[in-house]
Structure 1
């Protein structure tokens, strides 16, 4: 039988040191007439306590302890005297010079009860109605919002995430009933895109918190300026375009044509096939997968296109407001370094993102993808009609760095049918010379051949003072939001474009350095703007008062230049420095919720779709994955799934007939997210040191995009560093 546990307390009396060092030094209390004196009763009581065998410690009596009943009579008397003093019932103060009286500053010493005999004081957070924590007067707060980490009720959590207004809550309830099923945990389904889910149709639900009448006015009256003969007429006439020869476009403005083929390997892992695709050619990669299990011989297991643009792609975007069978994809591929050296002068400055570059030639490519005619509302790719290069818009403004189509709805009018050319949309662009330009993209009606155009002047052109533009977004059909290299944000109005050098009506500093990405919370809160800068800061401000109404989240050591607003999630979606995808709710922007993780750094992110909440990320290792984070929006501890769309590898080729080889891997299943650090072999530490992998530039994912049109909302596009573009319908 083991021996019983013994107490480690001191069993005997404590040692008392009676030698006073001040007396040995010749210092006595009698020298100071105002010195504090101990009464005989106090000295006797202290000696009695020291001789006792109690383990109690001596502390100063507080107000709470003075009111508690004591076990000994002397302690009770002392407590009553002190309580009377605190209440103001004590006798008048005695003279400090009287040696027989104790000074008023003396505090009675009483023994404190041991923890075993005295109940521990429990401190509970006071809460008001609905579970809201009421801070005490002594607490110091730096934010005027409740900490979401506290254990709050669901209604409080929803109010902190979506808002307490009826419009916000109805939009959240509508999305919860439509996008929280297991089948759409990673990619959207046709069933949900067509709105067949049994959800309560509310006034603000389908419009994401905006009144339907407001959206209708914006799609009709919001475009009156464009059809106005004075304002819109001068806006369209300012754009000067002329037709050029095909040979001139390929020799000067497009990447150098290479007669060699790009070799691609795709298909099931055990039986991959090799395809050769030339410059500006495409092929159906469904041929590598065979027929589907449904028994339909004409239907392939996977359907999609791969297009060879010929060079690394800077940016890419789908044109909105296209309800027909034709869908347009804008792609920008810069010239090669050898081509730029031919146009670079001897006295040209070295490249700098903070200064304008030389006016290199550049081109914007407009590709057309056809949708298949179906009786359902959603449409898939028509694999019988190959993608066609419809337009090549050439300019001498440098590399095309950023582009953004105007996402605001635009109703069709009779004036559109009367025009000679068919309108596609307004495209805001940022070029290497530092200017922001708005292009009115149109195409000839019934034209089947590729149009090669040279644009001399844009419909709108502006530049901030003493700096260059770095990114662009839209606030409304008439307002363009621009981020600058000096950390300022600028807003221009297209209706004031008649001036030779239009000035922004808002120009305010937000960051201290280069702004990498900018977006606004359209359509719910278009006045709210979020930005990511080169210093790693992610900020959100209001255009109503950007100097005071601003906030920021946790700073990153290495900035991830991607941020977008998801109207379905009612959150900002952005990248992170550590291979993460994160989510930033607008009403608690200072918090960060991780929603995805990859094996390498994020190199691309698709702008959020207005029709589904799925996010799409690309990494420098060639991995593209998607996830539906709506479950985590509702509850931040909910486990969500992440699915890889494909992985890509590229290697250069030593053969004379090939520029390189790309290999794709498909068929991944959805898995639970592993957000822990070092969850993959590429990031595991070796000998206690962290490792990172450097990938070839041709392997990188450089741009991603969701189709913003509802019939084709499941279409996704991915641009790679080797010059390939992959387009596939991901809706299940």
Structure 2
């Protein structure tokens, strides 16, 4: 097939269109100017092969017939460059001839006042602080502004840790901060739904006890782990094995309840025997109920160096999944607060699943249903009653949620309501599931890489879901209208660690690893749900961040790092106070671990190594002097003499010396505040060595 000569070499002229006068556009259509000796498309290659000549003759004859039939049409004039007529000037006082949707409208360009050259145009400026920021986030209704100011005034005096007496007597408030009766509204539909679920025999959880022989593949490391506890200058050695627990005093030493029954521990420590990937507290309506802590544990050998081809040749490679459920008992004090009791934590049972390692566990926000992510499938089960540490295999869950039509696996999950789960998948999509009856309600293509973190805005904004992919943008989606209510933080980020996304019901926003282009910039940022693209910095770490948690009954933040440090602070002070007012933070504890290969055979540390926990650090400032690259001039002063640091919200220079490699089992793997009222100051901290500490971090009243 030969191309037309006219298509091989064409020349065009740019025509000027007049959108102000539609009559000219209809009367004089735009013409195309070709070469002076160019031929029409119907006459191309007339001197070619004989078989093409007939087609050219037919085309010419049809063209001449059409011209003759027109009659009154003027004869064709020689081709020349057309003249563009000037549009007529509109009369004074008259409206424009056309105001259609095709008309161009001039808009102002985005502001580029930032020293980094970034433009932003929004409802409020990055420099907003104090009451102006409260009005921008929670306004324009005066009632919501007062509510936001109340949340700020309530906690402004507690810069490091929350008070023990948070909101009156334990159990006095069962709802959220913004909607105190949110759980009461869903109580009636929940009871109706639960009665239908319990009446269906085919949807009940079926557990079967495992004998010693069948439970052997699910056993974790049973060796002893020496731990150094107490003040840094006077530590004592204590040995602990998997399944054991001890009480701790305020100085971090082991508590012996037999010496003095009037002295109570301030926390506990127990050994899981493996690597904790995730943990979660069960929601309890009864203030005197036993607190349940579900822990996803995998063997340490999963993250050791091994030959992948040889290890994966067997059919049972990493197919055993375990979930430990620990019970912790509190006691009422004379001040009507709840603190740890003399009863040590007990391992109630170990749930076993064959199908893959358990990576995430999440309790239902309304009842005792536990969602377990194992092998790319989400199982919802009722763990049942206490079994004194027995190993039980899940034979039949309430529901098993998976997409079998495609080769995708579930990677993360979050509860939306008592009968709704939002699940992130390896293809970047997010699905909304119904538990009973088990069915897929909707699925949305949100990311282009696997979703690693997902969090719901329950209880105030349950269907508002924020998610973080391995590589891409942090996005927020309203599952009630996913095609409309979608936003994202406009800076690419790389996230390879879970447990780095949390929702704050006090501030109605999400905390996450701040999107940044600097690999050494380890910052935690806050994104308000109504202004999600604007990231406000709240925490900057000297080491890489591994986990975070925000309180449900208070707004305080816990952050774990790779050097084994656990940090605590009140992020409200960093968000709302002036830029010159530096907020405080405190290192609650620091965990260190030395592996077993560093010790001679036969020593107490030759089985699992040795760990050390240090506490008693002083508070320090949350922000430090910004490190400038060599040879770069300092920034000038902005308006009002204040340093112009607008770009510090999402970016910053990194010090290469901060890139220190620590022992893998030193890091903090997961941290979680207790969401129940009366227990809101209890925090569970998991370390990679297998230890879990539960501390009551509440402070006494300032006046006392």
TM-score where L is the length of structure 1: 0.68
**Does the aligned pair in 2 maintain the 1:291–1:297 contact within 8 Å?**
no
1:284 and 2:222 are equivalent in the alignment: no
Match of 1:483 in 2: 424
Aligned mate of 1:185, from 153, 159, 165: 159
Q: In the alignment, which residue of structure 2 is the partner of 1:39? A: none
Distance of aligned partners of 1:616 and 1:536 in 2 relative to their CA distance in 1, 3 Å threshold? farther
Aligned with 1:328: secondary structure? strand
Aligned residues: 544
Equivalent of 2:271 in 295, 303, 308: 308
Structure 2 unaligned segments of length 5 or more: list them: 1-104, 112-118, 629-651, 700-704
**Residue equivalent to 1:320:** 283
> 1:381-432, CA deviations, whole angstroms, 9 ceiling, x for partnerless residues?
11x2111111111110210011111123x5xxxxxxxxxxxxxx11112112
Pick one of 462, 482, 495 that aligns with 1:526.
462
Q: Is the 8 A contact 2:311 2:317 kept in 1?
A: no
One of 320, 326, 336 as aligned partner of 1:367: 326
Contact residue 377 and residue 711 of structure 1 kept, 8 A: no
1:287/1:211 CA distance change after superposition, 3 Å: closer
- The answer on whether the counterparts of 1:593 and 1:636 sit within 8 Å (CA) in structure 2 is no
Structure 2 Cα separation of the partners of residues 262 and 137 of structure 1: 67
Task: Show CA shifts across 1:657-710 (max 9, x none).
Answer: 32211111101122221254569xxxx999x95551111111011111111111
1:157 aligned partner: 133
Counterpart CA distance in 2 for 1:337 and 1:474 is 31
> Quick one: distance in 1 between partners of 2:263 and 2:316?
47
Query: What secondary structure sits across from 2:391 in the alignment?
Result: strand
Give yes or no for contact 1:538–1:552 (8 Å, CA) kept in 2. Answer: yes
Instruction: Find 2:391's aligned residue among 452, 462, 471.
Output: 452
8 Å contact from structure 1 (residues 361, 394) kept in 2: yes
2:632 pairs with 1:696: no
CA contact (8 A) 1:235 1:459 kept: no
Q: Deviations over 1:138-190 (max 9, x none)?
A: 345897732323668x6552232224345633432332232111xx2111111
Alignment of 1:620-635 (within 5 A): 620-635=562-577
The equivalent of 2:219 in structure 1 is 254
Q: TM-score, normalised by structure 2?
A: 0.70
| Distance in 1 (alpha carbons) for counterparts of 2:201 and 2:475 | 33
Alpha-carbon distance between aligned partners in 2 of 1:222 and 1:279, rounded to the nearest angstrom: 38
2:293 aligned counterpart, secondary structure: strand
User: What displacement does 1:542 show?
Assistant: 1.6
Task: Kindly state the Cα deviation for residue 298 of structure 1 after the two structures are TM-superposed.
Answer: 6.4
Which of 549, 561, 571 is matched with 2:485 structurally? Answer: 549
Task: Assess if the C-alpha contact under 8 Å between 2:558 and 2:569 holds in 1.
Answer: yes
Per the alignment, in what secondary structure is the counterpart of residue 481 of structure 2?
coil
- Summarize deviations over 1:423-449 as a string: whole Å, max 9, x none: xx11112112x11111112214xx6x3
Q: CA deviation at 1:300?
A: 6.6
| Deviation at residue 454 of structure 1 after TM alignment | 1.1
Which portions of structure 1, spanning 4 or more consecutive aligned residues, are displaced by more than 6 angstroms? 141-144, 296-302, 338-342, 344-347
What secondary structure sits across from 1:160 in the alignment? helix
Secondary structure of 1:320's match?
coil
Question: Aligned with 2:165: secondary structure?
Answer: helix
Task: Note if contact 1:175-1:205 (Cα within 8 Å) is conserved in structure 2.
Answer: no
Q: Which secondary structure state, in structure 1, belongs to the residue aligned with residue 574 of structure 2?
A: helix
Q: 2:560, 2:668 within 8 Å by CA — same for their partners in 1?
A: yes
Helix, strand or coil at the partner of 1:248: coil
Relative to structure 1, is the Cα distance of residues 371 and 338 closer, same or farther in structure 2, using a 3 angstrom cutoff? closer
Residue in 2 that maps onto 1:223: 191
- How many angstroms apart in 2 are the aligned matches of 1:299 and 1:685? 53
Residues 269/335 of structure 1: CA separation in 2 closer, same or farther (3 Å cut): closer
Would you say the 8 A contact 1:305–1:728 is kept in 2? yes
Match of 2:231 among 264, 268, 272: 268
Q: Give 1:543 deviation, angstroms.
A: 1.5
Given candidates 634, 641, 649, the residue that maps to 2:592 is 649
**Pair 721,556 (structure 1): closer, same or farther in 2 beyond 3 Å:** farther
Give how far 1:550 is off.
Answer: 1.4
Residues 136 and 650 from structure 1, CA distance in 2 versus in 1: closer, same or farther, beyond 3 angstroms? same
In the alignment, the residues of structure 2 paired with residue 217 and residue 205 of structure 1 have an alpha-carbon distance, to the nearest angstrom, of 11
Distance 2:174 2:291 in 1: 27
708, 712, 725: which one aligns with 2:692: 725
In structure 1, which of residues 148, 160, 169 is the aligned counterpart of residue 145 of structure 2? 169
Q: Deviation at 1:583?
A: 1.1
Say whether the 8 Å CA contact 1:306–1:726 is kept in structure 2. Answer: yes
In the TM superposition, residue 339 of structure 1 has moved relative to its aligned partner by 12
Check the 8 A contact 1:702/1:719 in 2, yes or no.
Answer: yes
**Pairing of 1:41-56 with structure 2 (within 5 A):** none
Against the structure 1 CA distance between its residues 176 and 361, is the aligned structure 2 distance closer, same or farther, given a 3 Å change threshold?
same
Instruction: Map 1:311-710 onto structure 2 (within 5 A).
Output: 311-321=274-284, 323-337=287-301, 348=312, 360-382=319-341, 384-408=342-366, 425-432=368-375, 434-444=376-386, 449-464=388-403, 465-497=406-438, 502=439, 504-559=440-495, 561=498, 562-576=500-514, 578-606=521-549, 608-635=550-577, 637=579, 638-653=581-596, 654-655=599-600, 656=602, 657-658=604-605, 659-677=608-626, 690=657, 692-710=659-677
How far apart, in 2, do the equivalents of 1:531 and 1:386 lie? 37
Following the alignment from structure 1 to structure 2, what is the Cα–Cα distance between the partners of residues 509 and 451?
Answer: 42
Verify the 8 A CA contact 2:229 2:253 in the aligned structure 1: no
What's the CA shift string for 1:172-221, capped at 9, x where partnerless? Answer: 2332232111xx2111111334379xxxx9xx997422262x43121333
Q: Aligned partners of 2:582 and 2:188: how far apart in 1? A: 42
Alpha-carbon separation, structure 1, partners of 2:290 and 2:378? 28
